[in-house]
Structure 1
C-alpha cells in the first residue's frame, strides 16, 4: 500500500478528505495516473475552524483502533489532500490498514 509510508515509530498516511458528506466513512485507496496514492475518507463535518480535520482524526482513530492523540496532521490542514502522522508500530498499523480495507 503506497498511501502509507513506514518510519521508525510511526507511519505517514496520505488522505483525500471530502468534508460536508452525507456520512462519515473510510472508503478505499485511490491511485492517480502519476502513481500517487491516498486513502479516501469523508466526514459530515464542515471545513471550518478545523472541524473536518478533527472529525477525520476521530474517524481514523476509531477505524484503526488507535488513540486520537496518536494521529496528527503533518501537512494539508486546509487542503483536501493531507498527510497524517500515526504513532505506533509501523508494521502493526499497516497490517491494520490492509485488514480494514479488505474487509
Structure 2
C-alpha cells in the first residue's frame, strides 16, 4: 500500500526514486512508496526535476501543484500534491499502477 497522507495544502505521496534508468516510468509500488524511474542522473537535482515531470504527467496535475517536501538527496522522497485530496490522489495512483 502506497503511503498517502493528508496535508493542509492537499496530500503527500511517498516516492522511491530510481535515477539513471533506461526510460522514465512509474514502476509500481516499493516498500510503501510509488516507484518512479527516470533517465536523469542523481546530480544537481536533475533526477528530482525529472520525477516531478513524470508525476505531473501521470497524475494529471500542474507542475505548480507538486513540491518535494523531503528526500532531495535520498531515493526515498515525499512529495506534496496541492489541491488534491488523499482519496483523489490514491485513485490517480491506482490508475497508474493498475
Q: TM-score surpassing 0.5?
A: yes
Q: Hey, what's the Cα distance between the residues in 1 that align with 2:2 and 2:24? A: 23
Residue pair 1:15, 1:41 contacting (<8 A) in 2 also: yes
Q: Match for residue 46 of structure 1?
A: 41
Residue pair 1:3, 1:29 contacting (<8 A) in 2 also: no
Aligned length: 97
Q: Hey, what's the Cα distance between the residues in 1 that align with 2:89 and 2:23? A: 24
RMSD: 1.3
Secondary structure in 1 aligned to 2:36? strand
Secondary structure in 2 aligned to 1:41? strand
The answer to whether the aligner puts 1:99 opposite 2:95 as a matched pair is: yes
Secondary structure in 2 aligned to 1:86? strand
Residue pair 1:12, 1:85 contacting (<8 A) in 2 also: yes
Unaligned runs of 5+ in 1: 32-36
- Alpha-carbon deviation of 1:12? 0.7
Unaligned runs of 5+ in 2: none
Larger Rg: 1
Of the three residues 70, 73, 93, the one matched with 2:68 is 73
- Alpha-carbon deviation of 1:101? 1.7
Can you list the C-alpha shifts for 1:56-94, whole angstroms capped at 9, x where unaligned?
000000000100111111000000100111112213222
- Alpha-carbon deviation of 1:8? 4.3
Q: Match for residue 61 of structure 1?
A: 56
Q: Hey, what's the Cα distance between the residues in 1 that align with 2:30 and 2:53? A: 21
- Alpha-carbon deviation of 1:24? 0.5
